[in-house]
Amino acid sequence: MCDETDIWTSAITNLKKGRANTLSADKLAKIANYFNVSVDYLLGNNENKGDAELRDLLEELRSDPDKRMLFSIAKGATAAEIREAVEIIEAIKRNRR
């Protein structure tokens, strides 16, 4: 994430270790964009069901080696679009067996 957002890993480490307790609005916006969530969500505010569903779908794409490529192209896509792409890939995989 740090490489793709141009945020120093030390900034994240400082937050984790308690040596810092804030990030600039610019950095928060980059992180939110990377994970396809709102800055409010990062701050613990305003998570609606759609945001949570989309976040869960993106996490599934990021963590599944067979779907990881989709994660990079899924930024900005809706939950329905991501779900459709996953269904297509799973159908292709089933047909190969």
| Cα 14 to Cα 36: distance, rounded to the nearest angstrom | 23
| Cα 75 to Cα 97: distance, rounded to the nearest angstrom | 30
CB 21 within 8 A of CB 35: no
> In the chain, pLDDT over 70 holds for what percent of residues?
82
Nearest-CA neighbor of 74 among 58, 87, 91? 58
Q: Give me the pLDDT at residue 73, please.
A: 67
Helices and strands in the chain, H and E counts: 7, 0
Confidence of residue 97 (pLDDT cuts 50, 70, 90): low
What average pLDDT does the segment 15-32 reach? 86
Tokens at 80, concatenated:
């329905």
Distance of CA 74 to the CA centre of its chain: 9
Is the pLDDT reported for residue 55 higher than 70? yes
Domain-by-domain residue ranges, the chain?
A: 1-45, 48-97
Is the pLDDT reported for residue 47 higher than 60? no
